[in-house]
Amino acid sequence: MSEPAINLPQEPSVSQPTVPQPPSGTSIFRGPNGIRAGWRVLIFLAIVAGLVAAVNLVVWLVLHFLLHHAPQFGTTSSLSPATAVLSDGAIFVFTGLAALIMSRIEHRKWREYGLPVRFAFRQHFWLGTLAGFLAISASLLAIFALRGFHLAGLAIHGKTILTATAAWTAAFVIVGLGEEFAFRGYLQFTLTTGMGFWPAAILLSALFGLAHAANPGESKFGLFSVVCFGLLFCLFLRRTGNLWWAVGFHAGWDWGQTFFYGVTDSGLAPYHNLFNSSFSGPTWLTGGSVGPEASIFTPLTLLVVGMLFTRVYREKRYQPLGKA
C-alpha cells in the first residue's frame, strides 16, 4: 500500500509591487490626448511669428521699392480708428490663422478656441457692450463726483459725428476681437488643458498687462488695471463658455472712453472724439497721463462688475478637453 501524500504548508508568496506603466504612445512630446499643451503653445507662437515676419518683409520690400529707401516705423502718441484697425486687425488675423492651422493639427474645430461664429454679435456681445459702456461711465462719474472730471461740450459737429461714430464703432469691435482672441482664445484654451483655467488666466493676464507697458504715458497702476481687465475677461469666458461677452465689454469700454468721453486710453490721446473733456486733481483720482484706467475707481468698478456678473451667470460653461 502506498504511503499517503503529505501536503506540506506552502510559504506565502510575496507579491511584487506593481510598477505603473505609462500609457502607450506617450512621451515628452505627446500625452494621452495628443501633443502636450506646452509644445502646442510653442508651435502656435512660432506660426504667429512666421506670419508676422513674412508680412513685415513683404511690406518692407514694397515700401522700399516704392520709396527707394527703407521705411521708418515708430510709435504713435495718439489713437485713431485707422491705427486701431491696422494694429489690432493684424493681431486678430495672425492669431486667427495660426489657430486655424493648429485646429487642423489637433483635429479640433476653430470655434472651440472661444469665438463660435453662431454666437457672433448676439445677446452676449450686446450685453457685454452695454456693460462696458456703463462701467466706464460709472468710473468717470465717480471721478466727476470728486471734482476730477469735466465735460466741455462737443468736439465734432455735423456729418463728422456720424462718420466718426461709425469708424470708432468698427475699430473697437476689431480691437475687442484682436486682443481677446490673442490673449484669451487659443492660448487660454491650450494652457487650460495643461495647467488649469485660473493658473493660465493669471499668466495670460500678466502678459496682457506687459503688452501695454510700451504705451506712452503708461504707469504701474495703469498696468495693474490692465491685469484686472484681463482677469475679468477670463471670468466672462469661464461663465459664458465663449469670448463674445468679453469682446463686447472690451469694445463698449474703449468706445465710451476714447470716442464718447474723449479721454486718453492707456496714455493714447483720442482723435475725432465726440466730447471734449478735462481732468484735474491727484493722479490716484484721475489716472494722470494714462487716463481713467489708472484711476483708483477703475479696478473698483471692475470688481463690482465681476461680483454682479457672477450673481447672474452662476454656471461654469468653459470646458476644454482633458489635460495633455
Give tens-digit pLDDT for 243-302. 999 999 999 999 999 999 999 888 788 889 999 999 999 999 999 989 999 999 999 999
* C-alpha to C-alpha distance for 66 and 215, rounded to whole angstroms: 30
In-domain check, residue 15: no
Q: Give a yes or no: residue 27 inside a domain.
A: no
The one-letter code for the residue type at 178 is G
Q: Flag whether 52 is in a domain.
A: yes
Per-residue confidence (pLDDT) for residue 13, from 0 to 100: 47
pLDDT of residue 320: 86
What is the secondary structure of 206-218 as a DSSP string?
HHHHHHTTTSTT-
- Up-side HSE of residue 58: CA atoms within 13 Å toward CB? 5
Residue 317 belongs to a domain = no
Flag whether 228 is in a domain: yes
| Binned average pLDDT, 10 residues per bin, the chain of 324 residues | 47 45 67 86 97 89 71 64 93 97 94 95 97 98 96 93 96 97 97 95 97 86 96 98 98 97 87 93 94 96 98 93 56
Domain interval for residue 305: 34-70+79-312
Q: Does residue 13 form part of some domain?
A: no
pLDDT at residue 30, rounded to an integer:
85
Q: Residue 322's pLDDT is what?
A: 53
Please check whether residue 309 is in contact with residue 235, taking contact to mean a CB–CB distance below 8 angstroms. Answer: yes
Residue 7 lies in a domain: no
> Domains in the chain: how many in total?
1
| Separation in Å, CA 108 to CA 73, 100, 113 | 38, 9, 9
Domain contains 59: yes
